[in-house]
Amino acid sequence: MRDGVKLAVDICRPIDSITGKVIETPLPVVWMHTPYNRRYNNTRDQLTVECYAGSASRLVKYGYVVATVDFRGLYASFGHNEGYNRGEWMSAARTDAYDITEWLARQPWSNGNIGMWGCSATGGSQMQAVSEASPHLKAIFPMSFEFDVYDFRVPGGIAGVRGADRPRKPGDPLPHESRDVLAATVDGDTDSLLLKQAMKDHVGTVEDGGYLPYRDSYSTLFTDEASQQWWTKSSPSSYLDKINTSGVAMYMAVNWDEGNTKPGPFFAFNNFTIPRKLIVGPGVHCDWFISMKQTGFDIVIEELRFFDYWLKGIDNGVMQEDPVYYYTYNAPAGQEWRSAKAWPLPEEQRVKYYLGDGTMDTKKTEAQDSKSLCHVRYDNPSQERGGVLVFETAPLTGDVCMTGHPSLNLWVSSTASDGDFIATIKDVSPDGVITSYNVSGQIRASLRKMAEPPYNYLGLPWHTYLESDVTPLKPGEPTELVFPILPISMIFKAGHKIRLEISFSTRGTQPTEPAPDVTVYHDALHPSCLTLPIMKQ
């Protein structure tokens, strides 16, 4: 790197099937900047390029060079790491992606057209690379990345204990020591001398910024002063101008059945102005093998089409298609995959379902005193009707297609001055089978203050989450909480019921003693309602 730090890189090049020799013709390069071991998965039984989401090793036979690079300060790379799997946002590392890209572009086996691939943290590292705008970076394929990192790490303002704050047992290896054991040497380092030298640099690694409960929290653990306001520093939403002037094309991907990384690509798609596409598939975080198994859809083919267009100049029509391609759960056979020209979908209707006494209905309640009471349980918060309030529609008379971002207006009071409120949407079949695809949202009541968002938030409620905006609940006083719920595309079949569960404990919730009593109001003065994005029939 420009500061002399050496990073470990693996390079995969195609072989001529007739001669058996490495092809010397300059080719485009697709690379991944990773905190998760450039060589192996955690069990060392598969190569990263083969098993990591996107399986870019399959691009090699189509005339691509594929490379993986360990973050500085991790595995076989030299240097100091702070922030672990978000460490690419540190000042000392921000230019690494630029330098790596330009180095790849200069190699004799490279034609100078560079792309990137990866998921989760390696989707985020692509965002960082675009914010630095290397002139040879032409296209990226980021999957399941954050757009606003606070919303991902501290969803709803419910801050949990970070790794830096967790107690460690005597004798337990430090995180960097556990990673170093799995590090792969570079070629020629037969005595592991380089690897041992790199490991010395890893002493003093700062895993994360610690407990940062507010959007404006500062970390005292990071030595990089510019990174101490971490949530802003590490969020792609902070670099919109740089990203939009980069000219780098993006094909963004995400899965429906994942957690708080889910909304990131949707917000990115609507805030970036560069050439872009969005695909949303079935399955969990970074797992496109599920899509392949269930539907035959192969994400690597999309990678190939996209990189062929932008890195090889092949006019294959990929950019003339609708920019949004998404999967719908429970759709009729052959109609699971759908396309759209925009997101949210133009045909979306925002339909309010008003809460009642265990019910939900599109008719606004006229009741003058209607409420549901719950004694919060921290020992088993998921136990139905034990620490959970349940609201259901009547059996549906026809199919209902929900595609988009739900939101919830919830009137509550509590015997405590604060509390966590979690909403989850589920599908209940006539025989009682309950299905959910991570369609949930949450809010810490004291951080309920809303404001105009600093970017296009798709019309959803946006919260400041600033320390100065903390507003405790007044015990027993009804207060409205408004918050978004993770997006989904699914069909509730006729005869099924739409269920909303309200619970009061999740990851990051700190139990209070005594456990509070919570009231959810659903009367004419306090019309709690769930707003669903329903498609016109």
Closest C-alpha to 419, from 377, 362, 379: 377
pLDDT value of residue 158: 96
**pLDDT tops 90 at residue 170:** no
Q: Are 125 and 34 in contact (CB under 8 A)?
A: yes
With tokens 């919570």, the residue in question is 518
The pLDDT score that the predictor gives to residue 166 is 64
Q: Tell me, which fold does domain 9-250+299-305 have in CATH?
A: Rossmann fold (3.40.50)
On the question of pLDDT at 217 being above 50, the answer is yes
Residue 133 CB: number of other CB atoms within 10 A? 16
H and E: helices and strands count for the chain: 12, 23
**Alpha-carbon separation of residue 214 from 66, 85, 211, 457, 473 (angstroms):** 39, 20, 9, 19, 18
> What tens digit of pLDDT does each residue of 471-508 get?
999 999 999 999 999 999 999 999 999 999 999 999 89
Q: Where are the chain's structural domains?
A: 9-250+299-305, 348-535
- Residues 225-246 have a mean pLDDT of 94
- Lowest mean per-residue pLDDT among 46-60, 304-318, 366-380, 518-532: 366-380
pLDDT at 527 over 70: yes
- pLDDT at position 377: 85
Angle at 183 between CA 180 and CA 186, to 5 degrees: 135
Give 348-535's CATH code, choosing from 1.10.260.40, 2.60.120.260, 2.60.40.1930, 3.30.1740.10: 2.60.120.260
Structure tokens at 517: 């009593």
pLDDT at 493: 97
Average pLDDT score over residue span 137-164 = 91
pLDDT tens for each residue of 342-363: 999 999 999 999 999 999 999 9
User: What is the rounded end-to-end Cα distance, in angstroms, of the chain?
Assistant: 56
Sign of CA pseudo-dihedral 224, 235, 423, 254: negative
With cut-offs at 50, 70 and 90, classify the pLDDT of residue 227.
Answer: confident
Mean pLDDT across 85-100: 93
Tell me what percent of the residues of the chain surpass a pLDDT of 90: 89
Helix (H) or strand (E) holding 129: helix 121-132
Instruction: Please tell me the total number of residues recorded for the chain in this structure.
Output: 537
Q: Which pLDDT score is estimated for 385?
A: 44
The whole-number pLDDT of residue 251 equals 98
Q: What is the mean pLDDT of residues 42-52?
A: 87
Alpha carbon distance 405, 269 (integer Å): 14
Q: What is the mean pLDDT of the chain?
A: 94
pLDDT at 176: 92
Q: How far apart are CA 530 and CA 100, in angstroms?
A: 48
Q: pTM, whole model, 2 decimals?
A: 0.95
- Asked if omega into 175 is within 30° of 0 (cis), the reply is no
Contact 258, 155 (CB under 8 A): no
> Buried (b) or exposed (e) across 359-370, using 16+ Cβ within 10 A?
bbeeeebeeeeb
